[in-house]
Amino acid sequence: LAPETKSFIAKEQKLLIGGQWKDAGSDALIDVINPADGNRISGIGDATEADIDQAVDTARAAFESGAWPEMKPGERSRVIHKIADLMETHAEELAQLETLDNGKPINFARGDVFASIGAFRYYAGWADKIQGTTHTINLPGDHHVYTLKEPVGVVALIVPWNYPLVMAAMKLGPALAAGCTAILKPAEDTSLSALRLGELALEAGLPEGVLNIVTGYGHTVGNALINHPGIDKIAFTGSTATGKIIAHAAAENLTKVTLELGGKSPNIIMSDADLEKAIPASAMGIFFNSGQTCTAPSRIYVHEDIKDEVIAGIAAVGKSMNLANGLDEESTMGPLVSAKQFERVSAYIAEGQKEGANIASGGVRHGESGYFLEPTVIDQTRNDMTIVQEEIFGPVVVAQSFKTEEEALALANDTQYGLAGAVWTPNISTAHRMVGKIKAGIMCINAVMGADWDVPLGGYKQSGIGQENGKDGLENYLNTKTVFTAL
Ligand code: ADP
């Protein structure tokens, strides 16, 4: 570990409120556990309601002072770029924190840091390109009608533990570019990289109170935030169950919400698919990040003629993965994020067996310490099984075969989720026809995952409300004010 990583985790973490690091109101720290070995590596603050009140008041004061929303947009852009510069300088340390906290292989953590820097740079570029519109209208007389784009105000950003830094950057980038002030709540399992980001943001010259970071549990700290009348907007990424709690809370004050929720994304492999590409991509799609990716292609529907080859191929990729402590440069798959998540995923595998599915490979713990689970392929599933309907969020893919395109589409759409999906076939007519019929927000053809900061991303059905990334992502943090002028 780099000396700066060691010294960062050696200290007890605090909350960032009003540009100051302060102890949480409750004395008890929450243990930060390294999922690769189960050892405690640090402690984070458990914020109280009084801390949340203070963070919201501070964010409000910072917003009303105009120090950030009224800063010249080019200047705001420079501060956001400066955050990205400092992240570059400290990239290895951020990656190490991510691996220690989340468990992911260091090489993937480096990729996450790189992507997070990209989010800040991308949205830094938007800060001085925020535009309203002008309108010619039909009313009698002369009018000048235009729209203004104004920052929404104080935003609560609640992020999950699967891509901690990326998720923070994905929300913070556009919120800051728009001129909002923010309270960031990282997940209780993975708060370290966000806290280090807070230090870098202050160093970059972000005015006091623009970014506040509160740590603690979802049902306490998260709950206080989503019910706080001082919050203008909640942006959340996490489970559909928690998304519903947030939507309920937001209804009270009609707080605006963007929700990026769960998925159970169908991956349809047609009989003419290029299996040399489809097999490794489908395997990596579900095993990458130990399956803890909301858009993971977690349900395979494979044409009956090629079923055995595909299942065996995906299982072989799973077996070839190097399950090891993420700090090991050779690791290609880390542990699950926590003991709780390990139990949850294992319970799903047991449930699948009880329901009559076949564990084609994996399904068991790997090694003696930490929360490693072998890449798991479950076949002979049916759509009425729990393991096919619920999001497992682990390295577990469920598979079944189909005979016709119609059958594949019906199976793919038989879900409460609508986040992502994939179709494998060289026939472009078939591919586009099928993509048009699948009810999901992100579709791939001859690929399983794609993302870029410029490309909007959001879920259909119970996978979310609203879009993130791209210009749509920026719009989440802007209000439109219409101005009528009689001339
Ligand atoms: P998981 O159950 O897999 O941990 P969640 O969707 O519950 O996923 O967690 C995502 C984020 O939402 C975390 O930061 C968590 O603390 C937060 N959270 C969980 N429950 C609530 C809640 N009731 N209100 C607000 N935030 C919550």
Ligand 1 neighbour 223 (Cβ under 6 A):
yes
* 222 CA to centre of ligand 1 in angstroms: 7
Nearest residue (by CA) to ligand 1, atom 16, is: 218
- Tell whether ligand 1 has an atom less than 6 A from the beta carbon of residue 218: yes
Whether 294 is in the pocket of ligand 1, judged by its Cβ within 6 Å, is no
Residues 248-276, mean pLDDT to the nearest whole number: 98
* Statement: the pTM of the whole predicted model exceeds 0.90: yes
Residues 57-85: what's their mean pLDDT?
98
Q: Is 445 left (phi over 0), alpha (psi -120 to 50) or beta?
A: beta
Q: Catalytic annotation on 203?
A: no
Q: Residue 450: what pLDDT?
A: 82
Q: What is the mean pLDDT of residues 207-218?
A: 98
Ligand 1: does its nearest atom lie under 6 Å from the Cβ of 391?
Answer: no
**Which of 49, 195, 220, 242, when mutated, tests ligand 1's pocket best, judged by the most ligand atoms within 8 Å of its CB?**
242
Q: Cα(479)–Cα(107) distance, rounded to whole angstroms?
A: 39
Helices 91-102 + 106-126 axis angle, to 10: 120
* Confidence (pLDDT) at 73: 98
Is the CB of 245 inside a 6 Å radius of any atom of ligand 1?
Answer: yes
Which protein residue has the closest C-alpha to ligand 1 atom 2? 239
Beta strands in 164-213 (DSSP E): 181-185, 211-213
Are 260 and 294 spatial neighbours (Cβ–Cβ below 8 Å)? yes
Measured CA distances, 33 to 7, 36, 98, 295, 371 (Å): 16, 9, 12, 26, 11
Sheet holding 143-151, edge to edge: 134-135, 143-151, 478-486
CB 435 less than 6 A from any atom of ligand 1: no
Category of 362 on φ-ψ map: left (φ > 0), alpha (ψ -120 to 50) or beta: left
Task: Residue count of the chain, please give it.
Answer: 487
So what's the ipTM on this one? 0.98
Which among 93, 208, 260, 468 is annotated as catalytic?
A: 260
Residue at 474: amino acid letter: L
CB of 222 closer than 6 A to ligand 1?
yes
**Ligand 1 mean position, distance from CA 48 (Å):** 16
Q: Is 247 in the pocket of ligand 1 (CB under 6 A)?
A: no
Q: What letter represents residue 423's amino acid?
A: V
Cα separation, 1 vs 398, whole angstroms: 37
Which of these, 37, 43, 5, 3, lies nearest to 23 by C-alpha position?
43
Q: Enumerate residues 6+ apart whose C-beta is below 8 A from 271.
A: 303, 305, 306
Closest-CA residue, ligand 1 atom 4, reads: 160
Question: What is d(CA 44, CA 28) in angstroms, rounded to the nearest whole number?
Answer: 9
Residue 433's pLDDT is 98
How far apart (Å, rounded) are the C-alpha atoms in residues 442 and 100? 31
Nearest protein Cα to ligand 1, atom 23:
219
The whole-chain average pLDDT of the chain stands at 98
Q: Tell me the per-residue pLDDT of 319-338, one tens digit each, with 9 for 90 and over.
A: 999 999 999 999 999 999 99
What is the spatial distance between Cα 109 and Cα 95, in angstroms, rounded to a whole number?
5
Contacts of 168 (CB under 8 A, 6+ apart): 116, 157, 159, 184, 186, 193, 194, 197
Say how many C-beta atoms besides its own lie within 10 A of residue 56's C-beta.
23
CA dihedral 44, 227, 294, 345 (to 10 degrees): 60
Residue 449 pLDDT exceeds 90: no
Whole-number percent of the chain with pLDDT over 90: 99
Query: How many Å lie between the centroid of ligand 1 and the Cα of residue 130?
Result: 32
∠ Cα 73 75 81 (to 5°):
105
What atom in ligand 1 is closest to the CA of residue 393? 3
- Residue 446, pLDDT > 90, answer yes
pLDDT at 192 over 90: yes
377-412: per-residue pLDDT in tens?
999 999 999 999 999 999 999 999 999 999 999 999
Predicted pLDDT of residue 206: 98
Cα 177 to the center of its chain, rounded Å: 19
Q: Looking up tokens 């309920």, which residue turns up?
A: 248
| Torsion from C-alpha of 247, 248, 249, 254, nearest 10 degrees | 70
- CA distance linking residue 174 with residue 164, whole number of Å: 16
